[in-house]
Amino acid sequence: MLNHSDTQNTIYDISNPTYWDKGSLYQEMDRIYDVCVGCRLCFNLCPSFPSLFNSIDNAGSRKREIAEAEGRVGKEVERSDYLDLPEGEHASNASIEV
């Protein structure tokens, strides 16, 4: 059982090394999924929620692998070519890619 009140991996400061830690990200995603799936108060608001919850239930700890196999997300690619840009340039480069 996950501790829902443990927010040590909820980091918004990009200068904090934990922000870039993949393990920390996955722990936080698992916590959020667990809170969301445990609540389920929104299931009747949109027909996609039951499918979402079923997918999360069936995926277990293999969420990313299954999403990649089904083609819903691309392979994870670690990029470092724009990590050292001056402040404010990240958004301009990201908008060019979109």
Backbone angles phi, psi at 7, to 5 degrees: -105, 25
Would you state the pLDDT for residue 16? 92
Q: What is the pTM of this model?
A: 0.47
In tens, the pLDDT along 29-81 reads 888 877 777 777 777 777 777 777 777 777 776 777 777 787 766 776 766 66
